């Protein structure tokens, strides 16, 4: 099969990192870049001379050479940009958080199904070698029954009402930017919780600055999760079972190593992976594998996983009274 041709919609910070890791994947290339400004699209294309630059997302979406679009716009635009690309007949990989709420997510999923196109949330942590190995170890019974998950993700971003992290029009706040990672871990390993509690602090724009979440499952498992954008936190994860535990090193969501212990009093076994790149190549390879197999969703991070994730986020937002305006189109 010829190379899979990617289109990059919204060439910002993460799009640049994604494009660098795409260079590590043998059978993929960037065919087009779509920005709100032709200058920004052209600047991004300097490193990718075969890519066409577009100064509007609408014109970009119609490029006949693009197989699959990577959507890297701010959260509040994921819905409209996904619909735009699906309507133009493109497969879509859309950044996290998938959508702003369940209603948006369902519409996106329904359209992909109707059009028989591939759609996936870009939850790259799911595809990292560390995650694959941990899932294998858990399935093999190395931890016993899962009892407790502790995970955090926090970094210190100075308050700026116009930045993506604080502007409510762009989906600002800790929960949707980094809280999605600890929630992802709990959702991946234990599914939707039976009981959930949450508390937050807010910035002057109304965005959440530090959010804490407690979860319980019927199995007796529990989780303590947190996220923040106003202070650095360890950004580690602990997965504790009835017989042993795993600690994923900081920053756990992108870690290339973890440790396994029977007990905290015993020396850990260190497991590390030699894995060039930032880690995005693994989700890219998953998209390629799905497209080549004619799949319209990934089994590893399915649309059901995503929908559960969105429902958990909606529930937390209701508890902490976190509401966002719809973006202007």
Ligand X SMILES: NC(=O)c1ccc[n+]([C@@H]2O[C@H](COP(=O)([O-])OP(=O)(O)OC[C@H]3O[C@@H](n4cnc5c(N)ncnc54)[C@H](OP(=O)(O)O)[C@@H]3O)[C@@H](O)[C@H]2O)c1
Which residues carry out catalysis? 96
199 φ, ψ to 5°? -140, 155
Q: Which of residues 64-93 bind ligand X (CB under 6 A)?
A: 72-75, 77
> In the complex with ligand X, which residue's Cβ is closer, 163 or 212?
163
Interface with ligand X includes 35 (CB under 6 A)? yes
> In the complex with ligand X, which residue's Cβ is closer, 120 or 240?
120
Distances (CA, A) of 27 to 3, 11, 291, 297: 5, 21, 12, 19
Residues in CB range of 326: below 8 A, 6 or more apart: 76
Interface with ligand X includes 277 (CB under 6 A)? no
Residues in CB range of 52: below 8 A, 6 or more apart: 31, 32, 33, 45, 63, 65
Q: Is omega for the bond preceding 113 within 30 degrees of 0, making it cis?
A: no
Please say whether the beta carbons of 118 and 292 come within 8 A.
no
Least distance (Å) between residue 81 CB and ligand X:
8
**Residues touching ligand X: how many (CB under 6 A)?**
21
**Residue in 4, 6, 8, 10 binding ligand X, rule: CB under 6 A:** 10
Pairing between β-strand 237-241 and β-strand 146-154 as defined by DSSP bridges: antiparallel
Least distance (Å) between residue 277 CB and ligand X:
12
C-alpha–C-alpha distance, residues 279 and 285, integer Å: 11
**Residue in 14, 38, 111, 199 binding ligand X, rule: CB under 6 A:** 14
Interface with ligand X includes 115 (CB under 6 A)? no
**Which residue, 116, 150, 152, is CA-closest to 297?**
116
Pairing between β-strand 119-121 and β-strand 91-94 as defined by DSSP bridges: parallel
> In the complex with ligand X, which residue's Cβ is closer, 221 or 312?
312
Torsion from C-alpha of 65, 68, 74, 77, nearest 10 degrees: 90
Interface with ligand X includes 162 (CB under 6 A)? no
Interface with ligand X includes 21 (CB under 6 A)? no
Torsion from C-alpha of 101, 122, 28, 14, nearest 10 degrees: 100
Least distance (Å) between residue 241 CB and ligand X:
28
Interface with ligand X includes 182 (CB under 6 A)? no
Interface with ligand X includes 281 (CB under 6 A)? no
Q: Which of residues 294-313 bind ligand X (CB under 6 A)?
A: none
Give the total residue count for the chain: 329
Least distance (Å) between residue 310 CB and ligand X:
14
> In the complex with ligand X, which residue's Cβ is closer, 10 or 213?
10
> In the complex with ligand X, which residue's Cβ is closer, 123 or 260?
123
Residue 293: CB atoms within 10 Å: 7
Position with the least CB separation from ligand X: 12
Least distance (Å) between residue 132 CB and ligand X:
17
**Residue in 5, 91, 96, 300 binding ligand X, rule: CB under 6 A:** 96
**Which residue, 227, 213, 215, 225, is CA-closest to 173?**
227
**Residue in 98, 118, 124, 127 binding ligand X, rule: CB under 6 A:** 124
Interface with ligand X by CB under 6 A: which residues? 10-14, 35-37, 40, 72-75, 77, 95-96, 122, 124, 164, 170, 177
């Amino acid at each position: 099969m010829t190379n899979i041709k990617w289109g990059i919609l919204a060439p910002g910070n993460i799009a640049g990192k994604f494009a660098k890791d795409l260079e590590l994947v043998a059978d993929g290339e960037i065919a087009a870049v779509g920005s709100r400004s032709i200058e920004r699209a052209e600047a991004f294309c300097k490193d990718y001379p075969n890519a066409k630059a577009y100064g509007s997302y609408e014109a970009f979406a119609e490029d006949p050479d693009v197989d699959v679009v990577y959507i890297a716009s701010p959260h509040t635009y994921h819905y409209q940009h996904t619909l735009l690309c699906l309507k133009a007949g493109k497969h879509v990989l859309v950044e996290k958080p998938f959508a702003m709420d369940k209603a948006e997510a369902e519409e996106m999923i329904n359209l992909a199904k109707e059009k028989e196109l591939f759609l996936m949330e870009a939850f790259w942590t799911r595809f990292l070698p560390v995650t694959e190995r941990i899932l294998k170890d858990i399935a093999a019974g190395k931890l016993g029954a899962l009892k407790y998950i502790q995970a955090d993700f926090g970094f210190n971003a100075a308050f700026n009402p116009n930045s993506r992290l604080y502007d409510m029009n762009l989906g600002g706040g800790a929960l949707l930017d980094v809280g999605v990672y600890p929630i992802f871990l709990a959702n991946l390993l234990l599914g939707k919780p039976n009981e959930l509690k949450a508390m937050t602090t807010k910035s002057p724009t109304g965005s959440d600055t530090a959010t804490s979440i407690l979860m319980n499952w019927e199995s007796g498992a529990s989780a303590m999760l947190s996220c923040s954008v106003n202070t650095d936190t360890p950004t580690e994860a602990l997965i504790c079972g009835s017989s042993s535990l795993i600690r994923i090193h900081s920053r756990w969501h992108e870690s290339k190593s973890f440790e396994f212990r029977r007990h905290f009093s015993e020396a850990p076994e260190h497991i590390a992976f030699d894995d060039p790149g930032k880690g995005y190549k693994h989700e890219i390879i998953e998209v390629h594998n799905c497209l080549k197999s004619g799949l319209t969703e990934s089994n590893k991070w399915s649309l059901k996983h995503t929908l559960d994730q969105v429902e958990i986020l909606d529930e937390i937002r209701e508890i902490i009274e976190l509401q966002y305006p719809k973006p202007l189109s």
